[in-house]
Structure 1
Amino acid sequence: MHPIEPYIRFFTGNSTVAHLFQVTAGLDSIAIGETQILGQVSQALDIALQCDSARHVLASLFRAAIHAGKRVQNETEIGRRPVSISSIAVQLAETTLGTLTDKQILVIGAGKMGGYAITSLREHGAQQITLANRTYQRATEMAAKYGGVALPFENMPDGLKEADVVFTSTAALQPILQQDLIGKIMSRRPHRPLTLIDLAVPRNVETRVRGIANVQLFDMDDLQRFVGISDNGSHQNITYAKSIVAEEVADYEKLLRVIPFIGELHKKVEQIRQFEVARTLRHLSDPDPEVLEQIDLLSRALVRKILHEPTMHLRTETNQETLNDYVDILSRLFDLSEPEPDLSLKKVAI
């Protein structure tokens, strides 16, 4: 078995849709209602569209998931009081150590997670924050933006020697805080406790450091236990958010059934457009290339305008009986055979 397999979940069919919607709405996160994921899903769709790797069904799936996530944000208290992994980590530190006002804090990693951590630390009264990053310029920029002192990455052991709490969130594939390093650090400060909070996946901190005296390590699994079944305010909010997601999933499943038919309708009309444009051009002798381009653009614009209303009715109709009537009428008018919808959505790894 490949080492990464235990961390992969596989979904097929409608369960794929439900999972994506729950993730995008922040309901599958350690921090219930986390808003960062919605932005990440939106960014993923933008990149896929730019690379032409998200065709009609996949693009519509992600747009529907984003819509569901925005509804949860706008219509529930979860969205009005968003949390993040970083803010939960700071809460854990405060619960474990008490006030952070007098603590020396080292943040390793100047990515978004590090920025969120510093912001939350400031909100909880932390005053003494040092930021270390492999790219020192990035560390100085973030320290200036969020507050704190930048530390060259090669001087990280000095920061560790002075720290009471360390937050790590780098993209390193191997642990950067290993047992040997932390052991040497603690030998210089044997009576001063050190708390390490690892926010990275894969881990930034070697789990064996838990065996070092006066060192306590918290990772993402510990954060999950700390949160427990937290509902970010009330169980009622979670229930309502889940009902929104279920409603959006049902709407998308209806759309999924009609997407193949919409595709056939557009394909048929496009064939008609191409045939009529070609027939018109045969009657023109030596037409100007610009004229040819304008004829093509005009014909495409007409097709879009003509198909816009029926397509929107097909996409937005919520009554299944009415939708069936629409499909039947358009099938007869355009001599279409309704294709069987593919609901399998292929096996997807998350």
Structure 2
Amino acid sequence: MLICLTASHRNASFDLLERLSIGAPTAASRLVTDSDVLDGAVVLATCNRFEAYLDIAGDDRDSAVSATVDAVAAASDLAPAELRDSVRVLGGKDVVQHLFAVSSGLESVVVGETEISGQVRRSLEDARSNGTTTSDLERLFQEAAHTSRGVKTRTRIGAAGRSLVRLGLQLASSRVTDWAETRVLLVGTGSYAATTIAALRDRGAVNIQVFSPSGRAAWFAAKHDLVAARDLRQAIGSSDVVITCTSSEVPVVAPADLDDGIRRIVIDLGLPRNVDPAAAGVDGVELLDLETISIHAPISELNAESEARAMVDDAVSRFRAQALEQSTTPALVAFRKHVFDILDDEIERAKRRDPDPESVEQTERALRHLVGVLLHRPSVRARELGRAGRGEEFVGALDALYGVQPAPEAEVPSPVVPLAERTAPVRDDADRTDEADAS
């Protein structure tokens, strides 16, 4: 059974999300190894949300939620009660609906933002590395990726929504008279850095230097045709706009780094914060952090969002129908094995009775054809009953008539071809610009 624990900008403070962005990923691997109520877990922690998708061993939902809250709270230096009060718990169809919408950018601060699909994909890759995925979680996340690509390519939601980077620059543009004459400092070479450079150049910025707390400025500057800065305070002093986007767990820009009385815009895209909030008190400094940017997130174009949500709803319905169909698969596999075991026994008896190989071959072909015809209708009916939510009737009928019961789940091969084998891999826009800063 799959459930989801979720906290986002809609129902949790940015301070809490900031702590979760650090601690939750470190707790992910221990969720499964230290718990006997969880078979699998995929944890997603971004600047705007925390998600824990759990595959429960059995149906003890409360114990699974408690174990997850305790582990994540401990890793994030939070009181379990504080985290529990800030998360929603979803189950059943709501889990599928939520992940498909999240992956498609429909639950982001800026509806339609493109970064989230890459973040969802990487959370699954991390779970694979930690050995915490299950077949149900794999299928859920793969179909979520497939849905988000469809939403991106077949709707206008991407045009309606804008990334946090572009929204931050838009807010700053009301204070910048000419980006071509503006001196910009980019602090960090993380996941938003390349996206930020592209957005700055779209606005006409040409005087851009980069500083990296981890020492990667020279490499990053050469790659993107920038100027590498060696001293942070000196670079800030020679800049009109400072944009931070590192993965540092502590602020890299302090109030002391900002000259008092100098008009300067500081855009903090980091989570955890890259800029000490006290910097907003420095005379002349205007600080735009993620919380400020989210307040100014635009109302989406209603038609584009409605179209995208309709696609998500359709994808959820298809996913659920497929899952229901597969509910009868173990019983159908057991039934087919039962029938073919009988068939093989009859063929062996025929071989012993009739020494003529040609005659036996004809008998075998006829019997196999007959069995195939007889099995066709039960196979179709099994899928129909599963899709209608009546799979238990099929399972019960096999048990009553033939004494056939499905094998344990682990012994049943999956009849589903993984999405990765059905669909050529497609790189998200965010993937091409994901260069994580080690700082």
Assess same fold via TM > 0.5.
yes
Change (3 A) 1:235 1:204: same
| C-alpha distance in structure 1 between counterparts of 2:381 and 2:129, whole Å | 27
**TM-score, normalization by structure 2:** 0.58
Alignment gaps of 5+ in structure 2: 1-72, 342-375, 410-439
- The alignment status of 1:121 with 2:179, answered yes or no, reads no
Q: 1:93 aligns with which of 172, 191, 197?
A: 172
Which SS does the other structure have where 2:181 is aligned?
coil
| C-alpha distance in structure 1 between counterparts of 2:387 and 2:329, whole Å | 16
Deviation at 1:271, TM superposition (A): 10
- The alignment status of 1:150 with 2:217, answered yes or no, reads no
- The alignment status of 1:208 with 2:278, answered yes or no, reads yes
| Alpha-carbon contact 1:131-1:151 (below 8 Å) kept | yes
Match of 2:187 in 1: 108
Change (3 A) 1:60 1:273: farther
The residue type paired with residue 320 of structure 2 is E
Q: 1:70 aligns with which of 149, 161, 165?
A: 149
Change (3 A) 1:334 1:327: farther
> Which region of structure 1 is more displaced relative to structure 2, 22-31 or 87-96?
87-96
Deviation at 1:318, TM superposition (A): 11
Which SS does the other structure have where 2:180 is aligned?
coil
Change (3 A) 1:273 1:126: farther
| C-alpha distance in structure 1 between counterparts of 2:106 and 2:185, whole Å | 30
Cα deviation code 1:256-301 (max 9, x no counterpart): 4444433555578789999xxxxxxxxxxxxxxxxxxxxxxxxxxx
| Alpha-carbon contact 2:325-2:387 (below 8 Å) kept | no
The residue type paired with residue 101 of structure 1 is A
Q: 2:238 aligns with which of 154, 162, 166?
A: 162
Alignment gaps of 5+ in structure 1: 275-308, 342-350
Deviation at 1:166, TM superposition (A): 0.8
| C-alpha distance in structure 2 between counterparts of 1:129 and 1:251, whole Å | 48
> Which region of structure 1 is more displaced relative to structure 2, 37-46 or 327-336?
327-336
The residue type paired with residue 223 of structure 2 is K
Q: 1:19 aligns with which of 68, 77, 98?
A: 98
The residue type paired with residue 182 of structure 2 is K
* Bigger relative CO (Cα 8 Å, ≥ 6 apart): 1
Change (3 A) 1:103 1:84: same
| Alpha-carbon contact 2:328-2:395 (below 8 Å) kept | no
Match of 2:429 in 1: none
Change (3 A) 1:326 1:31: same
Match of 1:299 in 2: none
Aligned CA RMSD, in angstroms, stands at 3.8
**Structure-to-structure mapping, 1:196-235, within 5 angstroms:** 196-229=266-299, 231=300, 234-235=301-302
Change (3 A) 1:175 1:318: farther
Deviation at 1:193, TM superposition (A): 0.5
**TM-score, normalization by structure 1:** 0.71
| C-alpha distance in structure 1 between counterparts of 2:188 and 2:289, whole Å | 15
Deviation at 1:319, TM superposition (A): 9.6
Which SS does the other structure have where 2:192 is aligned?
helix
Which SS does the other structure have where 2:205 is aligned?
coil
| C-alpha distance in structure 1 between counterparts of 2:206 and 2:188, whole Å | 18
Change (3 A) 1:319 1:166: same
Which SS does the other structure have where 1:196 is aligned?
strand
